Amino acid sequence: MREALLGWQFSGVYLVYAAIFWGYPFVWLLILAFSRWRFFGKPKPIGFDNFVRLFQDPIFWRIFWNTMNFMAYFIPMVVLGAFLFALALSKVKYFRTFFTLSFLVANVSSGVAYSILFSNLFSETGPVNSFLYKTFGVTIPWFSDPQLALLSIAIIVTWKFIGYYGLILFAGMQAIPKSLYEAAELDGASKWTQFWRITVPLVNPALTTVLVFAINLTFGIFTEPYMITGGGPMRRTLTFLLHIYTTAFQRMNPSYAATLAIVTGALSYGCVILVRKLVEREVHLT
Amino acid sequence: MKTRKKIKVGTILLYIIMFILSLIWIYPYVWLFLASVKPSEEIFTRFLPTQLTLEHYRFIFETATRMERPFVRALLNSIFIAFTITFSVVFTSAFIGYGLSKLRYRGRNAVFNFIIFQMLFPGFMFVVPLFVLIRTLGLLNTYSAVILPSLISAWGVFMFAQAYKAIPQDYIEAAKMDGASTFWIILRVMLPLTRSTASIVGLFTFIGAWDNFMWPLIVMKDYYKMPLAVLLASFNHEYGSYVGPLMAGAVIQTIPMVFIFLAFRKYFLQGISMSLK
């Protein structure tokens, strides 16, 4: 009895806090998405009008394709890179800590600081372009060309996350029992066969985790385009979060922003489900 | 003999590639640091400075303050905000997690499932309505606006609840026999036994709070209460051509995260392999 009372005291604190900072906003999110409101007065209910408007909004579709485009650059780059990094890490015996830390320290860079850093590093007169000019006689407009800007952001995000994702895959590879490889060796399987028949299938849970992380990251990207490109050139680096931010706090249209937030959440959830369906396999380690 | 030699060449090549890649990955940090200590005219022209200077740091800490951009203040704000959030999250998670894994009562599983349900929703969905709440409470432009929404973390509670499940009930019974209160049990028995979980929760919470940008950008318009990330971003916006001072600011923003990462790297790695379970 005393135990139950104490338990409810702990849970109660949590539930009260969650009701204020999670439940209340949750209800407001739903109210806003179905009304018209500009921060003052009472929200005016308008049914599904916001959603209808959203799906006819060319900016929404621009952002949608930007996001797909970003994933097409970012996910193959970061997954392949992380995979190679994890493989290399499991092959080396010495300096493993050094390699791990050099790749991982990129991950603890602050979003604002590394955006400032890279916008200067890749600027027209920056060291990367002056190096390219000296060796190849060309400069690349990393952040000012409409098509390149998105790729450049994908590259710097890859720089940040390759070590982190690589270590998740590495942990997955370490969990594979060595005896499997020894048995395969005895059966005369080549290294190549071992890689495709043992490593790739058994690292599946780690690979799924990485893919889910990468998708969530893509839909939540804000700091880099805000700091470096401001969504331009030609809206090619506009992201969902950047648009939610400007819609709610600069164009003063919070109800439309709430609608956008719900659709963004649903899209990212849908992508995660899709990838799980396509990639995830049951793994039995006996 | 022949194959062994082949393997050796391959291994050496692998080491060389890994060293080069590691250096490329660290290069941006090195360039950032050097840019913050070399004279302005050398930032884009030379890699190694001809002379070291602290003028950019002096600018960011002294001159910028006179331009209404108080960086010393911002650094202290960031430290205050990040430490408050981290302490609060670790302690509330340790207590609530105990309630959800070691105390038995009706409705416990429902609360636990609710926490998991909450974690399904990405934080960005709540930005707009949370702003409405903070505005209604009259907390815009206060430290509370940044701190209150992060005081308790569903993820932290979940992590502690999972870690406690591995601790045998006997430990708690033994402590109770000795007349220990629940608070004493949590602080003196449970927390020390789950030190790595506490470190992981603390580390990731601290990094998240220090690096949080979008939320303080929305609720903090007062230059004197801004965390460093937001003040640095606004300085970059308005004085983008002051490259040297900007680099010095970026170094100051980065250093605490890198040091804490290096000090707690063991737990960072544990946290990574935990994300698989």
Nearest CA in chain B to A258: B128
Q: What tokens were used for A12?
A: 């109660």
Q: Which residues contact A48 (CB under 8 A, 6 or more apart)?
A: A34
- With bands split at pLDDT 50, 70 and 90, how would you rate the model's confidence at B276? low
pTM: 0.92
Q: What integer pLDDT is reported at residue B111 of this predicted model?
A: 94
Burial A198-223 (b: 16+ CB within 10 A, else e): bbeebbebbbbbbbbbbbebbbbbbb
User: Exposed, middle or buried, B170 (CB in 10 Å: 0-12/13-18/19+)?
Assistant: exposed
CA distance B260 to B34: 21
Q: Is B6's pLDDT higher than 80?
A: no
Residue ranges per domain, chain A? 28-279
* B10-to-A88, B6, B55 alpha-carbon distances in Å: 12, 6, 48
- Total residues found in chain A within this entry: 286
Q: Which residues of A touch B105 (CB under 8 A)?
A: 3-4, 7-8
CB of B190 within 8 Å of a chain A CB? The answer is no
Integer-rounded Cα Rg, in Å, for chain B is 24
Q: Is B207's pLDDT higher than 90?
A: yes
Report residue A285: phi and psi, to 5°.
-105, 115
Q: What tokens were used for B28?
A: 């941006």
What was the ipTM of the complex prediction? 0.91
Which of A17 and A185 is assigned the larger pLDDT? A17
- SS3 breakdown of chain A: % helix, strand, coil, rounded to 5? 75, 0, 25
Tell me if A112 and B253 make a contact (CB, 8 A cut-off).
yes
Rounded to a whole number, what is the distance in Å from the CA of B251 to chain A's nearest CA?
Answer: 7
- Which residue in the set B26, B148, B253 is minimally distant from A113, CB to CB? B253
Q: Which domains does chain B have, with CATH numbers?
A: 2-53 (no CATH), 71-242+259-274 (1.10.3720.10)
Q: Is B4's pLDDT higher than 60?
A: no
Name which of A184-188, A197-201, B45-49, B246-250 the model is least confident about: B45-49
Nearest CA in chain A to B11: A92
CATH number, domain A28-279, options 3.30.420.40, 1.10.10.10, 1.10.3720.10, 3.40.50.150: 1.10.3720.10
Q: Is A145's pLDDT higher than 70?
A: yes
**Cβ neighbours around A131 below 10 Å, total:** 12
- Which residue in the set B15, B26, B96 is minimally distant from A102, CB to CB? B26
- With bands split at pLDDT 50, 70 and 90, how would you rate the model's confidence at B1? very low
Q: Are A138 and A54 in contact (CB under 8 A)?
A: no
Distance of CA A92 to the CA centre of its chain: 29
Q: Are A170 and A209 in contact (CB under 8 A)?
A: no
Tell me if B44 and A127 make a contact (CB, 8 A cut-off).
yes
* A260-to-A29, A239, B61 alpha-carbon distances in Å: 10, 11, 40
